[in-house]
Amino acid sequence: MGFKFLLPANYPQGAPLCYLDEQESTEVIEMIDYLDKGNRIMFDYLIHWSRAPFNNPNFAQTFNLTTTLVKIYNLFLQMPPLGMDELFGAPAP
């Protein structure tokens, strides 16, 4: 399982676009609250990033790619245990 990040033109002021780097599955999207159409990952941290005052001296310590990756990784670690075949289908023979 992997993730990909697309940086908007106004990064770091604007939050990165974060995606689950797997084949899109409607069942998986319906099962995972923070996964949207197109495998886009959206959760409170990214929403707050876009609303946070950029001139705050703690902005860069709070909102950065390293913290984003850790938070996303932790979201997926907290998922109920499901096999990869169950999530993304059995691999092609």
71 C-beta neighbours (distance < 10 Å), count: 15
pTM attached to this predicted model: 0.78
Predicted pLDDT of residue 93? 60
Q: Which residue would you say has higher pLDDT here, 1 or 33? A: 33
Report whether pLDDT(15) > 60: yes
Q: List, for residues 29-76, the tens digit of each pLDDT value.
A: 888 889 999 999 999 999 999 899 998 889 999 999 999 999 999 988
- Nearest Cα neighbor of 38 from 57, 19, 53 is 19
Q: Which residue has the higher pLDDT, 92 or 79?
A: 79
What are the sequence ranges of the domains in the chain? Answer: 3-82
Return d(Cα 51, Cα 49) in angstroms, integer. 5
Give the pLDDT mean for 20-28: 86
For residue 90, the model assigns a pLDDT of 60
pLDDT at 83: 59
